[in-house]
């Protein structure tokens, strides 16, 4: 489906289309993705063709809810693929918001339709902007662009024909956000050691060795105001990952009621109804916030950070409760409860991680 066609699908029908496709095609491959035997490029391209990444490509009057809802359908079945959906959505968000018309013309339709896949290397920059670590990529001005060196430890949804966005620092302290091409021989993808989950997410260490980044690949020569513009969208889009995992954990708890309800009822304040009510409140909050991602007030940004923190906390709590409800069944490697638990921890550690969100809130209060 073309970008234009994807845009005319309204939110409900986009969610319905994605749900139907996900339910039919993702369950058979979820274990292969979880164990790292499969990076599901084909699946990603197909949900892209359905419009899953296209609803926020047109920034005028943008509403991030359709993208979040579609992502939550994916994450309800597979957290790894839900995360890759966020990687792609974030990339689309960056390209859609650049003033570099040539870059937008070159990439936007392709990334928004899933024809070209890619990700986001903003964890290190986002941590550096909040005083947690230093920027790992350094660049200097050269004729027609920049020369960039350094390494990022983890960037996901990558492959040899993929692209991703990240930020380097110049000697005078300037920050430049750009798109890197994984096909460039000076941009090397390095395999990572096995993770607890997420091994099928195309995650690599990325080494830049004096890579030439032409001006045509620069999203913003002055990254700080640009990051301020895209940061709420970057964080809010992640909601889909957590909300989908929480929904499935509630379903797992519901399922045990018939056989184990007589004993599971003693799991006080950890009943599916408790999580459903907390989930409903979070969904309502996300829906409001995601409809105005360019809001600039401090109060709005605080609500975004709080919502993201609560989604991570609820995902981990719901996955923990799902383990207790499913018991020995859920402890088996063949059962998805243990996979949901491993995936839920990722919501709490991917940038902005729980500890970073708490730091940000603590610093806002002073």
Binding footprint of ligand FAD on the chain (CB under 6 A): 87, 119-124, 133, 153-156, 195, 198, 203, 349-351, 353, 356
SS3 160: coil
Rounded CA gap, 191 and 203, in Å?
7
Residue 133 or 295: the one with the smaller Cβ distance to ligand FAD is 133
Q: Tell me the C-alpha distance between 316 and 242, whole Å.
A: 9
Cis peptide before 352 (omega within 30 of 0): yes
Cβ closer to ligand FAD: 128 or 170? 128
User: In terms of Cα–Cα distance, which of 306, 310, 326 is closest to 278?
Assistant: 310
Alpha helices in 78-175 (DSSP H): 79-96, 101-112, 123-129
The nearest distance, CB 181 to ligand FAD, in angstroms, is 16
Q: Which is nearer to ligand FAD, 100 or 203 (CB)?
A: 203
| Nearer CB in complex with ligand FAD: 130/300 | 130
Distance CA 351, CA 366 (A): 23
Question: Any idea how long the chain is?
Answer: 366
Q: In this structure, what are the phi and psi dihedrals at residue 256, rounded to the nearest 5 degrees?
A: -85, -5
Q: By C-beta, is 6 or 180 nearer to ligand FAD?
A: 180
CB of 157 to ligand FAD, least distance (A): 7
- Closest contact distance (angstroms) between CB of 95 and ligand FAD is 16
Q: How far apart are CA 48 and CA 114, in angstroms?
A: 4
What is the Cα–Cα distance from 341 to 359, expressed in whole angstroms? 24
| Of 122 and 309, CB closest to ligand FAD | 122
Q: Where are the alpha helices (DSSP H) in 115-256?
A: 123-129, 223-237, 239-255
Nearer to ligand FAD, 197 or 323 (CB): 197
- Taking CB positions, which residue lies at the least distance from ligand FAD? 123
CB-CB contact of 87 with 119 (8 Å): yes
Q: How far is the CB of 355 from ligand FAD (least distance, A)?
A: 6
Minimum distance, C-beta of residue 345 to ligand FAD, in the bound complex (Å): 10
Query: Please, which residue, 158 or 307, has the CB nearer to ligand FAD?
Result: 158
Q: Which is nearer to ligand FAD, 241 or 249 (CB)?
A: 241
Q: State the minimum distance, in angstroms, from the CB of residue 87 to ligand FAD.
A: 5
C-alpha torsion angle, residues 264, 265, 267, 268 (rounded to 10): 170
Do 95 and 108 form a contact (C-beta atoms < 8 A)? yes
| Minimum separation from the CB atom of position 90 to ligand FAD (A) | 9
Residue 117 C-beta: closest distance to ligand FAD, Å: 12
Q: Are 208 and 149 in contact (CB under 8 A)?
A: yes
Contacts of residue 174, Cβ cutoff 8 Å, sequence gap at least 6: 221, 222
Rounded to 5°, angle at Cα 296 from 347 and 52 = 45
Taking residue 76's Cβ as centre, other Cβ atoms within 10 Å add up to 23
Nearest distance from C-beta of residue 180 to ligand FAD, angstroms: 12
């Amino acid at each position: 489906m073309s970008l234009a066609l994807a845009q005319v699908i309204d939110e409900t029908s986009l969610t319905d289309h994605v749900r139907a496709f996900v339910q039919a095609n993702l369950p058979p491959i979820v274990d292969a993705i979880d164990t790292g035997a499969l990076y599901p490029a084909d699946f990603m391209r197909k949900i892209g063709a359905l419009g899953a990444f296209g609803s926020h490509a047109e920034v005028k009057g943008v509403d991030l809810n359709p993208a979040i809802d579609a992502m939550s359908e994916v994450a309800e079945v597979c957290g790894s693929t839900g995360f890759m959906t966020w990687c792609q959505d974030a990339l689309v968000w960056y390209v859609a918001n650049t003033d570099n018309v040539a870059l937008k013309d070159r990439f936007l339709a392709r990334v928004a339709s899933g024809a070209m896949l890619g990700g986001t290397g903003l964890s290190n920059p986002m941590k550096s902007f909040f005083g947690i670590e230093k920027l790992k990529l350094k660049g200097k001005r050269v004729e027609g662009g920049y020369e960039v060196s350094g390494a990022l430890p983890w960037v996901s949804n990558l492959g040899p024909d993929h692209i991703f966005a990240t930020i380097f620092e110049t000697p005078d302290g300037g920050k430049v956000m750009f798109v890197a091409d994984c096909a460039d021989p000076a941009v090397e993808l390095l395999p990572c050691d096995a993770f607890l989950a997420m091994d099928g997410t195309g995650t690599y260490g990325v080494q830049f060795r004096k890579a030439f980044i032409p001006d045509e690949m620069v999203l913003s020569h002055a990254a700080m105001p640009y990051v301020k513009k895209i940061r709420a969208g970057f964080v809010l889009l992640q909601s889909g990952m957590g909300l989908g995992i929480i929904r499935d954990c509630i379903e797992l708890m519901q399922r045990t009621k018939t056989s184990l309800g007589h004993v599971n009822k003693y799991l006080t304040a950890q009943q599916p109804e408790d999580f459903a009510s907390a989930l409903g409140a979070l969904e309502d909050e996300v829906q409001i916030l995601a409809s105005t991602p360019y809001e600039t007030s401090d109060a709005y940004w605080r609500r975004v950070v709080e919502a993201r923190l609560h989604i991570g906390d609820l995902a981990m709590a719901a996955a923990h409760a799902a383990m207790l409800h499913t018991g020995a069944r859920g402890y088996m490697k063949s059962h998805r409860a243990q996979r949901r638990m491993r995936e839920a921890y990722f919501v709490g550690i991917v940038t902005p991680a729980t500890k970073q969100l708490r730091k940000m809130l603590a610093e806002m209060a002073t």
